[in-house]
Amino acid sequence: MTTATNKVEIRRGLMGVYFDRSDSCFIDGTVGKLLYRGYDIHELAENSTFEEVVHLLLFGKLPNRKELDAFDKQLRADRDIPDKVLDIMDTVKNGHPMDVLRTAVSALSAFDPEVKDNSEAAIIRKGLRLTAKAPTIVAAHDRLRKGLKPVKPNASLNHAGNFLYMLNGKMPSEDEMHIMDVDFILHAEHGSNASAFAARVAASTQTDLHSAVVAGIATLKGPAHGGAAEEVMKMAEEIGRPENAESYARNILDHGGRVMGFGHRVYKAEDPRARHLRDRSHTLGISKGQPQWFEILAKLQEVMKPYQAKGIYVNVDFFAGSIYYLMGIPDDIFISIFALGRIPGWTLNVAEQYRSNILIRPLTDYSGPMDVPYTPISKRN
């Protein structure tokens, strides 16, 4: 919405505003197209791995076999977190998983020898260390709050498999490892979304990567951004059966509410990431003997079809929650999984900001009184 006053044009929410150039991520919201460094998300989701995609995002190219092996070896070597950080996490273990992740990333800055180095190479190295350690943080926290010992990272497993292994304390199935890997790919980067923009605003003041990632985590936590997957699953549980979906959605819409997992600031066509989670929600539900969740979500998507005329389609979060639920992941960790995927994207945004940095400082159009005379307290009634 823009309102032209007699002085300025205001673009609330910075809607439609281009604030910089970027070669990291292309989104055409009118047709639902998404490219990471020029590669189509459908190709990456179906043929690549999270490790390859992180390399593509941070180094600008898909790695060859030798490069991938060295890169993957480094990521696996960087998964451990200091005991002192685990102690801090134990102190705050009753907090929300995103608050504990945010706290642990802050604490890690005290243990990273390059924390003050804002060169691009150091930013990338620190971002990779955080990418490697974040699953350990999320999994260890869940174990601590359950009174269990954290499970040490398993270097024989890839990034996605190791996360599930540390979380559940048992080897994940090949199928679950692959689904989680695709999920991380789909969440890895998305241009100047709110959390990436928050990280860029932080970086524009020349602060360090850890501080910028903390800003990203804090911003992602909101249900309008990253918290929707958890809300979608709560909605599916409240709906209970596919035949209830229509009246449930109607009730929300008639009261001017938002049906979670639908709508997007940029996509006015289907979010291209959604289909890759839709198929997997369907197959996983059947294999787990719980087909009802996909059936409820599919019915809800059908009920919302008329809203496509207004550019309201499913987004990446709509099917994600049912997948995490079927994997037995606690619902307050759903959003943390989004953050685990997005750390490389935040790192790339910070590196891009630093490449030709300028302080990000927009204006507000003042609408208050002018030059009000000061009244000493003795004269105020």
* Catalytically active residues, by annotation: 225, 264, 317
Please report, as residue ranges, which positions from 4 to 23 form the binding site for ligand SDX (by CB under 6 A): 13
Does 315 interact with ligand SDX (rule: CB under 6 A)?
yes
Cβ atoms of 350 and 200 closer than 8 Å: yes
Residue 275 near ligand SDX by CB under 6 A: no
Start-to-end C-alpha separation, the chain: 41
Q: Taking CB under 6 A as the criterion, which residues in 197-226 touch ligand SDX?
A: 224-225
Q: Residue 254 or residue 371: which is nearer to ligand SDX going by CB?
A: 254
Q: Applying CB under 6 A, which part among 85-93, 122-130, 235-243, 264-272 lies near ligand SDX? A: 264-272
Kindly list the distances between the CA atom of residue 353 and the CA atoms of 33, 168, 198, 209, 219, in Å, as whole numbers in the listed order.
Answer: 24, 37, 11, 11, 18
| Three-state DSSP string of 276-332 | HHHHHHHHHHHHCCCCHHHHHHHHHHHHCHHHHHHCCCECCHHHHHHHHHHCCCCHH
Nearer to ligand SDX, 209 or 314 (CB): 314
Binding status of residue 319 toward ligand SDX by CB under 6 A: no
Residue of closest CB approach to ligand SDX: 263
Binder of ligand SDX out of 53, 245, 316, 337 (CB under 6 A):
316
Residue 270 in contact with ligand SDX, rule: CB under 6 A? no
Among 89, 124, 157, 312, binds ligand SDX (CB under 6 A): 312
What secondary structure does DSSP assign to 127-189, as a single string? HHHHHHHHHHHHHHHHHHHTT-PPPPP-TTS-HHHHHHHHHHSSPPPHHHHHHHHHHHHHHS-
**Cβ pair 349, 24 in contact under 8 A:** yes
Binding range to ligand SDX, per CB under 6 A, among 64-72, 258-266, 353-361, 364-372: 258-266
Q: What is the CA radius of gyration of the chain?
A: 22
Taking the least distance from each CB to ligand SDX, the nearer of 1 and 363 is 1
Q: How far is the CB of 85 from ligand SDX (least distance, A)?
A: 27
Binding site residues, ligand SDX, CB under 6 A: 13, 190, 193, 224-225, 228, 253, 258-266, 310, 312, 315-317
